[in-house]
Amino acid sequence: MADVAGNNFDIVILGGGSGGYACALRAVQLGKSVALIEKGKLGGTCLHTGCIPTKALLHSAEVADLSREGDKYGIKSTFDGVDMPAVNAYKDGVIDRLYKGLQGLIKSGGITVVEGEGKLVDPKTVEVNGERYTGTNVVLATGSVSRTLGLDIGGRVITSSEALTMSEVPDKVVIIGGSVIGVEFASVWKSFGADVTIIEGLPTLIPLEDPSLSKQLERAFRKRKINFKTGVKFSSVEQTETGVTVSLEDGTTIDTDLVLVAVGRGPNSAGMGYEEAGITVDRGWVPTNERLATNVDGVFAVGDLVPGLQLAHRGFAHGIFVAEEIAGLNPQPVIDSGIPRVTYCDPEIASVGLTEPQAREKYGDDKVEIQDYNLGGNGKSQILGTAGSVKLVREKDGPIVGVHMIGARYGEQVGEASLMVNWEAYPEDVAQFIHAHPTQNEALGEAALALAGKPLHSHA
Ligand SMILES: Cc1cc2nc3c(=O)[nH]c(=O)nc-3n(C[C@H](O)[C@H](O)[C@H](O)COP(=O)(O)OP(=O)(O)OC[C@H]3O[C@@H](n4cnc5c(N)ncnc54)[C@H](O)[C@@H]3O)c2cc1C
């Protein structure tokens, strides 16, 4: 063990979010001494201003919709409004319980937590509040921050962080950005009763997903009366005494109460001494090789700071990988294309692996087979009243290389989809496994049956 008393550790980790704390937990399991430096709260973006609070709001939104739709299921219920302080109390309660649990895990693991803002002063040393912490290895895990495209954040122009602490539901809101964070907030606010308009510069909503999912989400949002304009960028955003005016490049203007800027997240590395310590930094990102090593020996980077998918479970996987790498266990690299992705709007979107266009580009048009199973044939989806589909993309006569799902609660089905793609399962293999009836999970089995040439509740 390293000389902890002298602030020397096996591993010094800068940033206690998903990537940093996962690395710390795995490293102490492997007998390493760890200092975990955090300027805010352990758990980082995901726990405090990302995954968890947004999903709590989406659950409140689902309850609001259910209360409106009681009649459909023969239940007398009415929607009488949203009590935002109570919504926030519920959301904060969830965060608090998880935060306490995480603090307990970190404490019982024997990890040294250093509170304060850290700066790398050389490749082995981080300085916090004038004190130096030295590691045989250093892990950079400082995450990401909201991009703002030059817009001044303040007043009626906000990012996702402010959107999580609102005391009222806005009457009208414009969301700039129709990707994951944008469509999730659009879904919440619409369910809460706001008039919502999304502006997306690319030709579709959720432009990084399979085009069939974008099309179905747009259809569902139209049905929900969520307004959106795609293929157009904003040109300016101006706050007045009473509202905000958003001008678009096509010459239209929209007057609104609130603007959410949801145009993605950039690296959080400014002023942290990375470049000065000789670490290559590319427009703020810290590039690594497949083994998450930077160009400087003994310095690794994990999570959102490393270019690629910005997801908490990628951060967890990175953190575990680096701890095992340092311990000499030679772990399998974390490959972005095998990471499952979920967008938790209503309807939910879940996917893993190659989209249909990506598969066609990789294997050639005639070397790809598709099965798009419509949830109209799935008993549980019908019970829940959801439309959608499960689409499998297969290399012709080969394994399933992509799964793309849309429908209420489909995020929960991404586990099996991920096993299919990452274990390179053949539809014929999956078709052998029995999927319980009636579950939404069954739709994955049905899609595999159909792709294996023996459809049950779908046409050949
Ligand atoms: C609104 C929103 C919703 C999201 N929803 C999801 C979701 O549903 N699912 C999902 O997988 N992902 C989601 N994400 C993304 C997810 O939150 C991130 O991918 C994840 O938090 C990245 O982990 P990280 O450890 O790289 O960075 P972070 O979680 O950002 O952690 C970095 C930590 O470093 C600390 N830090 C930074 N600089 C210093 C310094 N100099 N000294 C000390 N400490 C420092 C920060 O305080 C922070 O705690 C969401 C993000 C947002 C914003």
Question: DSSP string spanning 346-378?
Answer: SSEEEEEE--HHHHHHHH-GGGEEEEEEEGGG-
Superfamily of domain 347-451: FAD/NAD-linked reductase, C-terminal dimerisation domain (3.30.390.30)
- Strand 400-407 with 258-261, pairing: unpaired
Q: 28, 34 in Cβ contact below 8 A? A: yes
Strand order in the sheet with 172-176: 157-158, 258-261, 172-176, 195-200, 227-230
Kindly report whether the peptide bond that precedes residue 347 is cis, defined as omega within 30 degrees of 0.
yes
Res 1: pLDDT: 40
In this prediction, residues 156-180 reach a mean pLDDT of 98
Residue 144 CB contacts under 8 Å (≥ 6 apart), including other chains: 45, 265, 266, 267, 268, 304, 305, 310
DSSP 214-270: HHHHHHHHHHTT-EEEES--EEEEEE-SS-EEEEETTS-EEEESEEEE-S-EEE--T
- Strand 258-261 with 118-122, pairing: unpaired
Q: Which atom of ligand 1 is nearest to the CA of 145?
A: 30
In this prediction, residues 246-268 reach a mean pLDDT of 97
Q: What is the three-class DSSP state of 275?
A: coil
Quote the DSSP letter at residue 134.
Answer: E
Check pLDDT > 90 for residue 271: yes
Q: How far is the CA of 308 from the centre of ligand 1 (A)?
A: 14
In this prediction, residues 347-376 reach a mean pLDDT of 97
In this prediction, residues 365-392 reach a mean pLDDT of 96
If one residue of 38, 46, 54, 311 were mutated to test the ligand 1 pocket, choosing by the most ligand atoms within 8 A of its CB, it would be: 46
For residue range 59-110, list pLDDT tens digits in order. Answer: 999 999 999 999 999 999 999 999 999 999 999 999 999 999 999 999 999 9
Q: How far is the CA of 43 from the centre of ligand 1 (A)?
A: 8
Binding residue ranges: 55, 118, 142-144, 177-184, 200, 264, 304
Binding residue ranges for NAD(+): 177-184, 200, 264
CA nearest to 405, candidates 452, 359, 355: 355
Binding residue ranges for FAD: 55, 118, 142-144, 304
Measured by CA distance, the residue closest to atom 50 of ligand 1 is 50
Gap between the Cα atoms of 343 and 351, Å rounded: 9
Class of domain 8-145+267-336: alpha beta
CA nearest to 229, candidates 253, 202, 200, 257: 200
Q: How far is the CA of 17 from the centre of ligand 1 (A)?
A: 6
The band of 373, judged by pLDDT with boundaries at 50, 70 and 90, is very high
In this prediction, residues 157-181 reach a mean pLDDT of 98
CA nearest to 66, candidates 385, 396, 402: 385
For the chain, the straight-line distance linking the first and the last C-alpha, in angstroms and rounded, comes to: 63
Enter the tokens of residue 450: 């159909």
Res 458: pLDDT: 84
- Weakest-pLDDT range from 4-18, 95-109, 168-182, 329-343: 4-18
The band of 241, judged by pLDDT with boundaries at 50, 70 and 90, is confident
Structural domain boundaries of the chain? 8-145+267-336, 157-263, 347-451
Protein residues whose CB sits closer than 6 Å to any atom of ligand 1: 14-20, 37-40, 44-46, 50-51, 54, 117-118, 141-144, 160, 181, 268, 272, 303-305, 310-313, 315, 344
CATH for 157-263 (3.40.190.290, 1.10.10.10, 3.50.50.60, 3.90.110.10) = 3.50.50.60
Spell out where 287-438 has E strands: 299-301, 341-343, 348-353, 368-374, 389-395, 400-407
Q: How far is the CA of 46 from the centre of ligand 1 (A)?
A: 5
Assess whether the region 8-145+267-336 and the region 157-263 belong to the same CATH fold: yes
For residue range 15-55, list pLDDT tens digits in order. Answer: 999 999 999 999 999 999 999 999 999 999 999 999 999 99
Q: Which residues pair with 258 in a beta bridge?
A: 173
In this prediction, residues 196-217 reach a mean pLDDT of 98
Percentage of residues in the chain with pLDDT exceeding 90? 97
In this prediction, residues 401-413 reach a mean pLDDT of 98
Check pLDDT > 50 for residue 2: no
Res 74: pLDDT: 97
Q: 174, 258 in Cβ contact below 8 A? A: yes
Res 429: pLDDT: 95
Q: Which atom of ligand 1 is nearest to the CA of 20?
A: 25
